[in-house]
Amino acid sequence: MSRADDTELVKQCINGDRQAFESLLVKYQKPVFNAAYRMLHSAEDAKDVTQTVFLKVYENLDKYDPKHRFFSWIYRIAMNESIDCLGRINRTEPIEDELEDQGRGPELETDGELLKSQLQAALMNVKPEYRTVIVLKHFLECSYEEIGEILAIPEKTVKSRLYTGRQLLKDLLTGRDVH
């Protein structure tokens, strides 16, 4: 992600250049949609969140601080919107049945589709504070430092949440107790 390119696009957009906004939209709609999908496990909700994120970005571009990277700003909005959406739909409730239905085993499944759905179901059983860090690290390929910037938390906290989140996920997928 080129910081200079994004900053220039934001500047053009603030000056009323809608093509610049479209460029930002083309560049970021997929990661934003995927982040929301991983947080919410619903394509319909992810679409709504993506729409809200970009409209908020567009309306608040003049509040964007170029000292920070643009992607960290938009990802932060995406995560906040996803968590707000979770609160509205109450999808933080454990979905143990889904995991049970898909079968648990002593080892992680290797079958592609089953594993994907099990992974996503397990992810939904992890608290949003851990899920957020896991999504940013593994699905948006952010570094510890970038995650810290996005969530405005120290790197130490990023590591702590990430390691705990992975542990919880692993335990869920291997059928052990979740602590």
Partner 1 sequence: MTIDQKIVELINADIDGVISVADKGELDAVLATNSEARLYHAELSRLCKDMDSAQAIEPPPHLKHLILALAKPKRRNARAAASWLMSIPALRLSAAFAAGVALTLTFVSSDNLSKSAFDDVTGLVGTISESAGESSGKPSIQVSRADITGKIAAHRSGRIVVIDFDLVSRGPVDIIANFADRNIWFNGFAQLESAGTSVAAEPGRVTLRMDGKRRYALYLHDAGSRDATVDLQFVSSGTIVHEAQLDIGTLKGD
CB of 47 to partner 1, least distance (A): 6
Provide the phi-psi class of 109: left if phi over 0, else alpha when psi is between -120 and 50, else beta. beta
Residue 5 or 145: the one with the smaller Cβ distance to partner 1 is: 145
On whether the CB atoms of residues 132 and 153 are closer than 8 A, the answer is no
CB of 130 to partner 1, least distance (A): 13
CB of 90 to partner 1, least distance (A): 19
Q: What is the DSSP letter of 107?
A: S
CB of 161 to partner 1, least distance (A): 11
CB atoms within 10 A of CB 14: 13
Residue 15 or 90: the one with the smaller Cβ distance to partner 1 is: 15
Using CB under 8 A, list all residues that contact partner 1: 14-19, 21-22, 25-26, 29-31, 33-34, 37, 43-44, 46-48, 50-51, 54-55, 58, 107-108, 115-116, 119, 134, 137-139, 141, 144, 159, 162-163, 166-167, 169-170, 173-174
Residue 31 or 148: the one with the smaller Cβ distance to partner 1 is: 31
Q: What is the DSSP letter of 41?
A: S
List the alpha helices (DSSP H) in the chain. 3-14, 18-40, 43-59, 70-89, 96-101, 112-124, 128-134, 144-151, 155-174
